[in-house]
């Protein structure tokens, strides 16, 4: 395994929408995560879940104002984390 394929990246995000990390939002996150080769996890405290699984994300019970960490390991880890951070920063639910 070369150095590039072991790239790691992490970032902290804030859940900033009234309904928290609900299934529609989790679906968008999972769809984005599937675009990358890296293994991506979302953490709330000590609990981590696969960013490609809507169901697992639902178990985080991440309400509005929750602080989460996104971590990725793989050849495109920085790009993957950056894209998910952008999604958390720009997502606004429709009424």
Q: Are 62 and 23 in contact (CB under 8 A)?
A: no
Residue-wise DSSP of the chain? --TGGG-EEEEEEE--STT-S-HHHHHHHHHHHTT-SSEEEEEETTEEEETT-HHHHHTT---TT-EEEEEEESTTHHHHHHHHHHHHHH-----
Question: Is 22 marked active-site?
Answer: yes
Question: Which one of 7, 17, 22, 43 is the catalytic residue?
Answer: 22
Q: Which positions are catalytic? A: 22
């Amino acid at each position: 395994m070369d150095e590039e394929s072991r790239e790691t990246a992490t970032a902290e995000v804030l859940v900033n929408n009234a309904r928290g990390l609900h299934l529609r939002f989790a679906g968008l996150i999972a769809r984005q995560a599937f675009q990358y080769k890296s293994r991506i996890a979302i953490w709330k405290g000590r609990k981590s879940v696969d960013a490609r699984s809507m169901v697992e994300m639902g178990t985080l019970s991440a309400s509005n104002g929750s602080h989460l960490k996104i971590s990725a390991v793989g050849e495109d880890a920085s790009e993957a984390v950056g894209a998910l951070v952008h999604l958390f920063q720009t997502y606004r639910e429709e009424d």
